C-alpha cells in the first residue's frame, strides 16, 4: 500500500459492514494520562470449589454441574432468550416492539479451571470445534431458529463473569444486526462479482502479505484492512464454506491449530493474558441457500498500548465513525513477531 498512508490521517472502507473507518497513525505519539487497568492474574488452581463451572459444583442457578471430563454444554441459567416466550407485538408508528424467542447455552471448553484456548492443547481445542459444529447443526435444524451465534468473552475486561474456560451459543428467532448487515453486503458483492466477498478479499491479503498474521493449510488469520480495534483479527478458511457444521475433518483440525496459534500469540504481545470478545459468523439458517456467505470469525481485543491501557469507543467513535490510531499493518507486524 502507499507508504504515505502509514503516517497520514485517512479513512478506509469496510465492505463487510458498508462503513468507513478513520485511521490516525500520528496519534500514537500522544501522552496517556487516562485510565489504566490492572494486569489480569491467571487463575492457578486446576479446580476451584467456588466455581460453578468446575465439575461437580453447584451452578449459580441451583443445578448441579456433572463430573464432566471433556466439554460440557448446558442451557444458560440466566438466559437472555427463552424458547417459549409469549408472542407479543406492539406497533405504534415509530414505536415498534416484538417478542424475540431463542435458546442460550453455555459451553465449557475444559473441566480444568486454569486453562484457556491459549493454553489448551490442539486436540482438546479440536474437541471444542466439534461441539461448536454439533451445536450449530442441532440448533439450525430447529424451525424456530434463523441464526446461531457462537462466541466467547475472555477476561474480566470484556465482561466475563467467570474465568473458567467457556463460551456461549445464542440461537435466535431472527437474524441479529451484525450478521444481517454482513448478509446484505455479501449478497450484493456476490450478485455483482459471482464470487464470495471474503474469499476474494483473502486472496488479496495473501498476495500482499502485509496484514497476514498466521496461516496453516486450511485457515488464515489477518488484521483486516478496515480493522477498528488495535489488534482485531479476522479468521478465514482458505476454501469456501458457509457454516461450522459443513467443515471438513481437515478444516476442523486446522481451525483448532490456528485458534491455538492466535490466542497464544495474543498472550505474548504484552506478556499477559489477552482479553477479547470473539465469535463465528456462519450463514443464517433461514431455509435459504447462501452461496454468498463465507464462514469467518472475528476477534476483538481491547488492549492498545500495554496490558493496562485499553482502547475506548467514545466521543467521535460513538457520534461520528469508528477510529483507530496504530495502523493495521503495524499491528499485524507486532502479532507476526510474537507468533514465531
Write the burial class of residue 118 (CB in 10 Å: 0-12 exposed, 13-18 middle, 19+ buried). buried
E strand or H helix at 235, and its extent? Answer: strand 233-237
Residue 265's CB: how many other CB atoms inside 10 A? 23
The active-site residue out of 113, 164, 166, 296 is: 166
Q: Say which residues have a Cβ less than 8 Å from residue 213's Cβ, sequence separation at least 6.
A: 221, 222, 223, 233, 262, 265, 332, 335, 336, 339
In a 13 Å sphere around the CA of 6, the CA atoms on its Cβ side amount to 10
Strand 233-237 and strand 276-281: the pairing is unpaired
E strand or H helix at 256, and its extent? Answer: helix 249-269
User: CA triplet 117, 119, 125: central angle to 5 degrees?
Assistant: 45
Residue 297 to residues 122, 177, 244, 247, 319, Cα–Cα distance (Å) = 18, 16, 11, 14, 27
Three-class SS of residue 101?
coil
Q: Say which residues have a Cβ less than 8 Å from residue 160's Cβ, sequence separation at least 6.
A: 153, 154, 275
**Residue 10 is a catalytic residue:** no
Q: What positions carry a catalytic annotation?
A: 166
Amino acid at each position: 500500500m502507499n507508504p504515505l498512508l502509514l503516517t497520514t490521517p485517512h479513512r478506509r472502507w469496510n465492505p463487510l459492514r458498508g462503513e468507513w473507518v478513520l485511521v490516525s497513525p500520528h496519534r500514537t505519539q500522544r501522552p496517556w494520562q487516562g485510565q489504566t487497568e490492572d494486569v489480569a492474574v491467571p487463575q492457578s488452581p486446576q479446580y476451584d470449589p467456588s466455581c460453578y463451572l468446575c465439575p461437580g459444583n453447584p451452578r449459580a442457578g441451583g443445578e448441579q454441574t456433572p463430573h464432566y471430563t471433556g466439554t460440557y454444554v448446558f442451557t444458560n441459567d440466566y438466559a437472555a432468550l427463552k424458547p417459549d416466550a409469549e408472542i407479543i407485538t406492539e406497533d405504534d408508528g415509530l414505536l415498534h416492539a416484538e417478542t424475540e424467542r431463542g435458546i442460550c447455552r453455555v459451553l465449557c471448553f475444559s473441566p480444568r479451571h486454569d486453562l484457556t484456548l491459549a493454553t489448551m492443547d490442539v486436540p482438546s481445542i479440536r474437541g471444542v470445534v466439534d461441539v461448536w459444529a454439533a451445536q450449530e447443526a442441532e440448533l439450525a435444524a430447529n424451525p424456530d431458529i434463523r441464526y446461531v451465534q457462537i462466541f466467547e468473552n475472555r477476561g474480566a475486561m470484556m465482561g466475563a463473569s467467570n474465568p473458567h474456560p467457556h463460551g456461549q451459543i445464542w440461537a435466535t428467532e431472527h437474524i441479529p444486526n451484525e450478521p444481517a448487515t454482513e448478509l446484505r453486503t455479501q449478497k450484493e458483492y456476490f450478485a455483482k462479482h459471482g464470487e464470495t466477498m471474503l474469499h476474494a478479499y483473502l486472496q488479496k491479503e495473501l498476495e500482499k502479505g502485509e496484514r497476514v498474521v498466521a496461516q496453516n493449510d486450511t485457515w488464515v488469520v489477518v488484521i483486516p484492512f478496515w480493522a477498528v480495534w488495535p489488534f482485531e483479527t479476522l479468521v478465514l478458511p482458505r476454501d469456501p464454506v458457509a457454516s461450522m457444521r459443513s467443515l471438513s475433518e481437515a478444516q476442523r483440525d486446522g481451525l483448532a491449530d490456528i485458534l491455538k496459534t492466535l490466542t497464544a500469540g495474543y498472550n505474548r504481545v504484552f506478556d499477559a493474558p489477552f482479553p477479547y470478545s470473539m465469535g463465528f459468523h456462519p450463514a443464517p439458517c433461514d431455509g435459504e441457500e447462501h452461496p454468498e456467505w463465507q464462514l469467518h470469525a472475528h476477534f476483538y481485543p481491547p488492549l492498545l498500548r500495554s496490558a493496562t491501557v485499553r482502547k475506548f469507543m467514545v466521543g467521535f467513535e460513538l457520534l461520528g465513525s469508528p477510529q483507530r490510531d496504530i495502523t493495521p499493518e503495524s499491528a499485524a507486524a507486532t502479532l507476526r513477531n510474537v507468533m514465531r
